[in-house]
């Protein structure tokens, strides 16, 4: 049953900044074609690192989206978020002069925030002393500044928050923004995630945890391989995914194009381990069930799951087990694919970019593949859409995100019916 039965909420704009493309169309063409976005790290010299590859946004020009004077006052993660919001704003065909700022807000999550700024400023502190620290250090580094700068840029006086739940941040931001509109607190919300943590400390830290793939430095195109038997760790990615959520009546009144309706949101915590998911997928399955119940949908009404699909042993196994618990026999009729096979793991931005993919699967009737799927693993026997896109009607899609600390979040979108 619904926890809240108030305003219907629809998706009217999509913004993507990713390692495989910038903008909705470029991103979608790339992922449906199975394009690899993983390559050697160029943002710093990774020669001495056990992992030397990542999914970088290599063709990003912040000056296309942000005033040049402001660019130097923003960390890369904030620049990505502003760019994705600009793209989503334009895609939704919004008119800044007609938005009631008191009825519009922004929820943008990030797992880490301004890690590159933190790293660079610490280097200055240690080498040259405290007087050389930038006066913009703190507002560039703190995690809420992506949401804050978006609110400033678009004069959004409504709810504005930063959700930090590791790799679930983007999905939690979308789900929480959905709730805001359901409750009647806003008519428009910009929601999603952003991340730019491909930095010396970021890569070294994840590598020391043995979480990163380190055996494909000379073959980055085949490093990220979710659900494949020979997967050996995730690959870091970066970028931002922002969607425009609107109260249905507001969208209809302005003649907006409606991509899909967001109908369900579930969240919980494994409460098990700081990095490893709970065995058997039990808590993750409860999260999916919460989202289904909130959507008032039966398991057999879901056609596609955009999986968390990190390319790590424990996550891929537990997510598959969770899907089987929730969907039973229907699990084998579902399409399940991982965007991370192409973009790498965009951490706090993952839920945002993967929501874009889920919504576009409904809009286009195309489900992007999981690339690098070559060798089935025992017990991992679902339709992971191996290597080539599949065409099928998608009436309802779920997007899963599971983060360090046991944070689980799931959202459900369905084809809009007036």
Please indicate whether residue 407 is annotated as part of the active site.
Answer: no
| Sign of CA pseudo-dihedral 261, 167, 210, 213 | positive
Cα–Cα distance measured from residue 161 to residue 417, given in angstroms and rounded to the nearest whole number:
30
Cα–Cα distance measured from residue 389 to residue 342, given in angstroms and rounded to the nearest whole number:
13
Please indicate whether residue 345 is annotated as part of the active site.
Answer: yes
Q: Up-side HSE of residue 94: CA atoms within 13 Å toward CB?
A: 29
* Residues 343 and 308 sit within 8 Å (Cβ to Cβ): no
- For residue 92, report the phi and psi dihedrals to the nearest 5 degrees: -80, -5
Which of the following is catalytic: 51, 162, 167, 287?
Answer: 167
Cα–Cα distance measured from residue 244 to residue 253, given in angstroms and rounded to the nearest whole number:
16
Which of the following is catalytic: 216, 345, 368, 407?
Answer: 345
SS (H, E, C) the chain: CCCCCCCCEEEEEEEEEECCEECHHHHHHHHHCCCCCCEECCCCCCCCCCCCEEECCCCCCHHHCCCHHHHCCCCHHHHHHHHHHHHHHHHCCCCHHHCCHHHEEEEEECCCCCHHHHHHHHHHHHHHCHHHCCCCHHHHHCCCHHHHHHHHHHCCCCCEECCCCHHHHHHHHHHHHHHHHHCCCCCEEEEEEEECCCCHHHHHHHHHCCCECCCCCCCHHHCCCCCCCCCCCECEECEEEEEEEEEHHHHHHCCCCCCEEEEEEEEEECCCCCCCCCHHHHHHHHHHHHHHHHHCCCHHHCCEEECCCCCCHHHHHHHHHHHHHHHHHHHHCCEEECCHHHHCECHHHHHHHHHHHHHHHHHHCEECCECCCCCCECCECCCCCECCCEECCCCEEEEEEEEHHHEEEEEEEECCCC
Is residue 83 classed exposed, middle or buried when 0-12, 13-18 and 19+ CB atoms within 10 A define those classes?
buried
Which of the following is catalytic: 213, 216, 287, 308?
Answer: 308
Active site residue ranges: 167, 308, 345
């Amino acid at each position: 049953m619904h926890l809240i039965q108030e305003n219907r909420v629809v998706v009217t704009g999509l913004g993507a900044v990713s390692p495989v493309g910038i903008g909705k169309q470029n991103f979608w063409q790339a992922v449906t074609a199975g394009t690899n976005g993983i390559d050697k790290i160029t943002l710093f010299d990774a020669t001495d690192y056990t992992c030397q590859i990542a999914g970088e946004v290599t063709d990003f020009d912040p000056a296309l989206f942000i005033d040049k004077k402001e660019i130097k006052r923003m960390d890369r993660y904030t620049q990505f978020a502003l760019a994705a919001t600009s793209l989503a704003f334009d895609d939704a065909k919004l008119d800044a002069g007609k938005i009631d700022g008191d009825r519009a807000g922004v929820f943008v999550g990030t797992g880490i925030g301004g890690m590159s700024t933190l790293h660079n400023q610490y280097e200055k502190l240690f080498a040259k002393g405290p007087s050389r620290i930038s006066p913009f250090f703190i507002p560039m580094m703190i995690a809420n500044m992506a949401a804050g700068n978006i609110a400033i840029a678009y004069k959004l006086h409504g709810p504005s928050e930063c959700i930090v739940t590791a790799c679930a941040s983007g999905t939690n931001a979308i789900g929480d923004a959905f709730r805001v509109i359901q409750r009647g607190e806003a008519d428009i919300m910009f929601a999603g995630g952003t991340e730019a943590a491909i930095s010396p400390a970021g890569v070294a830290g994840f590598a020391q945890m043995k979480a990163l793939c380190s055996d494909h430095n000379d073959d980055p195109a085949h490093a990220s391989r979710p659900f494949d038997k020979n997967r050996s760790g995730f690959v870091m990615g970066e970028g931002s995914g922002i969607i425009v959520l609107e109260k249905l009546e507001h969208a209809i009144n302005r003649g907006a194009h409606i991509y899909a309706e967001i109908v369900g949101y579930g969240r919980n915590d494994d409460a098990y381990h700081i990095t490893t998911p709970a065995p058997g997928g039990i808590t993750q399955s409860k999260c999916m069930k919460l989202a289904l119940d909130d959507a008032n949908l039966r398991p057999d009404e879901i056609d596609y799951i955009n999986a968390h699909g990190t390319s790590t042993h424990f996550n891929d196994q537990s997510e598959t087990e969770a899907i089987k618990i929730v969907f039973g026999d229907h699990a084998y009729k579902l399409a399940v694919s991982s965007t991370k096979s192409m973009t790498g793991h965009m951490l706090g931005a993952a839920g945002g970019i993967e929501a874009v993919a889920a919504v576009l699967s409904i809009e286009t009737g195309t489900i992007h593949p999981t690339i690098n799927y070559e060798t089935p693993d025992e017990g991992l026997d679902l339709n992971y859409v191996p290597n080539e896109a599949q065409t099928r009607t998608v009436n309802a899609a779920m997007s899963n995100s599971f983060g360090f600390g046991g944070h689980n979040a799931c959202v459900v979108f369905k084809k809009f019916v007036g």
